Structure 1
Amino acid sequence: MDTEPGLTAAAELFKVLGNASRLALLRIIGDESPTVGSLVEATGMSQPLVSQHLRTLRQAGLVIATRSGKEICYRVADLHVTHVIADAIAHVHEPVDHDDTIDHVAHD
């Protein structure tokens, strides 16, 4: 049902983004170029869990790992992703008028 080119790939992207821990990591990484250790400290997640999420984010092409001496730093691969996350967070903070939504759907 990929009626528009890119819909399937976009759905896969949303699957990766559909995890609160990965979103938290991307928010932190979007603001700086942290190491695994600083991500563990910032999130309170275990090092193995942070590493697992980072692997998923790397495989999805959302973060890039670069070596800095003995440490590896992470950065967001594409700022579009940080905008998508920021927009999603802004959206969930917007007040919802359920009556308006029902009226809008009924008139369409």
Structure 2
Amino acid sequence: MAGEKSLSGAAELFKALSATSRLLILSALADAPSSVSALVGATQLSQPLVSQHLRLLRGINLVTATKSGRETIYALTDDHVARVIQDAIAHSQES
């Protein structure tokens, strides 16, 4: 059985994944690393909202940020989150 620390970390992950906007951003990043402006275009969310969600996602280590000239490129930290999202979507579509 998982320890309390592991369960607490999993609960934080599920809290982060509980917002549709964050799932949109993470799904877009699962396709390819992107800048804020590309994420705004892909998700149709406002720039301030995308930036706010990215700050939260970076804080819990789901997303990394790399400077590229004047832009910051965001990417998933690893593929685990993409798989969790894909599994959750598949599960929600089951009858």
Q: CA deviation at 1:4?
A: 2.9
Among residues 2, 5, 17, which one is paired with 1:4 in the alignment?
A: 2
Aligned residues: 93
Q: How far apart, CA to CA, are the structure 1 residues paired with 2:41 and 2:48? A: 13
Provide structure 2 residue ranges, at least 5 long, that are not aligned to the other structure: none
Q: TM-score, normalised by structure 1?
A: 0.83
Q: How far apart, CA to CA, are the structure 2 residues paired with 1:4 and 1:42? A: 37
Provide structure 1 residue ranges, at least 5 long, that are not aligned to the other structure: 96-108
Which letter maps to 1:40?
A: V
Structure with larger RCO (C-alpha < 8 A, sep 6+): 2
Moved over 3 A (4+): none
Identity value in percent: 53
How do residues 1-108 of structure 1 correspond to structure 2 at under 5 angstroms? 4-5=2-3, 6-95=6-95
Q: TM-score, normalised by structure 2?
A: 0.94
